[in-house]
């Protein structure tokens, strides 16, 4: 499980004295704890790896946005710190599908669902997220789905 590897990384970072990595891993664990608390009242709880992957993808997205803003604001040292956090977070994410693989998955789902045009985009995205949600950046995938259905 991904959560176990994150906890093991925390212990390893503590033992090695790698303070930047330890700080990033602790941030991840804090976000996971927040998500666990949020899900206490949920009607159905998804698989743990799905939860962890979702949290990690959101963290990466936030940091990439921050990097862009820091670079535009002339703060390269803060952008570098965010980039270091992104590298640590991405270590725990499952391997992402390449663009060609994503396009092939979209075509398969498009045929499976019977999608004909842009009005079926929601169906295709929902099926894509259900089947490959942990392996695809859904932000990029939505643009590819839109192009495939146009």
pLDDT tens across 31-87, in order?
999 999 999 988 888 888 888 988 998 999 999 999 999 999 999 999 999 999 999
CA 112 vs CA 13, 119, 140: distances in Å: 45, 16, 21
**Where are the CATH 1.10.1510.10 domain residues in the chain?**
2-92
The predicted structure's pLDDT at residue 122: 85
pLDDT of residue 107: 85
- Report the topology of domain 2-92: Hypothetical Protein Yqey; Chain: A; domain1 (1.10.1510)
75-99 pLDDT, tens per residue?
Answer: 999 999 999 999 999 999 888 888 8
CATH topology of domain 99-149: Arc Repressor Mutant, subunit A (1.10.10)
What is the value of pTM for the model shown?
0.76
C-alpha R_g of the chain: 18
- Mean pLDDT of all residues belonging to the chain: 89
Q: What residue ranges of the chain are covered by domains with CATH 1.10.10?
A: 99-149
Is 114 exposed, middle or buried (CB count within 10 Å of its CB: 0-12, 13-18, 19+)? Answer: exposed
Cα-to-chain-centroid distance, residue 82: 16
């Amino acid at each position: 499980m991904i959560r176990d590897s994150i906890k093991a990384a925390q212990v390893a970072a503590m033992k090695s004295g790698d303070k930047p990595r330890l700080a990033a891993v602790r941030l991840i664990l804090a976000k996971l704890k927040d998500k666990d608390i949020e899900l206490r009242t949920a009607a159905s709880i998804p698989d743990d790896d799905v939860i962890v992957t979702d949290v990690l993808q959101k963290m990466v997205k936030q940091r990439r946005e921050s990097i862009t803003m820091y670079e535009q604001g002339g703060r390269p040292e803060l952008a570098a710190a965010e980039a270091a956090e992104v590298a640590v977070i991405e270590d725990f994410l499952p391997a992402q599908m390449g663009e060609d693989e994503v396009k092939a998955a979209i075509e398969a789902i498009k045929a499976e669902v019977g999608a004909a045009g842009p009005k079926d985009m929601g169906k295709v995205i929902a099926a894509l997220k259900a089947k490959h949600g942990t392996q695809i950046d859904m932000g990029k995938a939505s643009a590819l789905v839109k192009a495939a259905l146009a």
